[in-house]
Structure formats: structure tokens, C-alpha cells
Amino acid sequence: MLAARAPRLERVLAKNARKGGSVVLLDGSLIPTRRRTGLPMRRRWSAKHKCHGLLVVGLTDVQGRLLWTSTARPTRGSEITACRHDDLVDRLRAAGLAAIADLGFVGLDDGGLDADPAVITGYKKPKGKKLPAAKKLVNQLIAAERAVCEHAFAHLKNWRVLTKLRLDVKRATRLVRALLVLNQHEITR
């Protein structure tokens, strides 16, 4: 019942645009799961984190409130693939919003040179070279803005029920969305 009350992406973006917001923060997070044997668990192995888990992408506002979470997906996929599956860039553009994201989302917004960027990321260091001072400063400013997004996911992961997760993807999605509703209720108290 709580998962059904979780906000939908279009409503979250429209509400944020109505309130005068122009930016949301975008991040993805791994929810570790307990390993079971068999072929279905091989899809949940994250080579990046060296553990089994599920990937959840979420949006927060600039105050650090978690606004929306995507469906839980196996972690062998990337954050960009999850965002493309949810058609996040087009929905952000339709709402007139931009998203600030970490370096894991570089290449998500390939709108071209003429389009305004819908996803703003930092700069990666070129191989074998140093990053110029101006680009370092941009990365520091983006990291300072994104700190509240990391805190929002940390508050979501503080729920103990996520530490012993052995569910399939559909049940995990319902659980994460129910925890999102509880988290929002806890903040508004």
C-alpha cells in the first residue's frame, strides 16, 4: 500500500517546475543483496562494487529530499542504461528542468551542441594528462551541490530491511518505493 503512494516521475518533475525549481540532482546507488546460488543471481553481480545487488536511480531536490526512485534493476547494467530505459532526459527537457549528476552519467545527454543540456556532469581527467584548474573548479562546485544527494541515498539505505534483501526485482522495487514514502513522511514530521 505504501509503494502505491510513491510519486511518479512526471508528477515530481512538474511539481518541482511549478515551485520554481530549475535543477534536480540525479544519482544511482547499489543496494546490496544476499547471494543465492543459480543463474538468476549472476545478473545481479556488480563488477564495479564486487558484490551482488540491485541498482536504483533516484532524483533529489537541492535541499536533499529524495523525490523519486526508479525501478530496481540488476547491477550488471549501468546507471546510464537505467536512465535511458526510463527516458529521463526527454522527460527532464519536457518539464524544463536540468539534472546535476556525477561522472557516471557522462554521455547520457547527447542532445548536440544546439540543445541546452538536460544532464550536467563534471569533467573526466584525460588519460596521462592533468585536468586544467578551471575544470577542477567546476568539478568541485558540482560535487558541493551533489553532497545532499548522497545524504538522501544514505538515509534511504539506513533502513535495516535493505541490509538483508533476498527478493526478486519487482518486490525490491515495491520495498524501495515504500521506504521512499516513509522517508518523505519522516522528513515532513
Residue 41's φ and ψ, nearest 5 degrees, are -80, -20
138 in Cβ contact with 102 (< 8 Å): no
pLDDT, tens digit, 9 for 90 and up, residues 42-88: 566 665 666 777 889 999 999 989 999 998 887 777 888 889 999 99
Identify the pLDDT of residue 30.
84
The model's pTM: 0.83
Residue 27: pLDDT band with limits 50, 70, 90: very high
With CA atoms as reference, report the closest residue to 149 among 86, 67, 71: 67
With CA atoms as reference, report the closest residue to 165 among 47, 7, 55, 6: 55
53 in Cβ contact with 8 (< 8 Å): no
Q: Is 38 exposed, middle or buried (0-12, 13-18, 19+ CB in 10 A)?
A: exposed
Identify the pLDDT of residue 115.
67
Identify the pLDDT of residue 21.
84
pLDDT, tens digit, 9 for 90 and up, residues 138-168: 999 999 999 999 888 888 888 878 777 766 6
Identify the pLDDT of residue 67.
93
67 in Cβ contact with 99 (< 8 Å): no
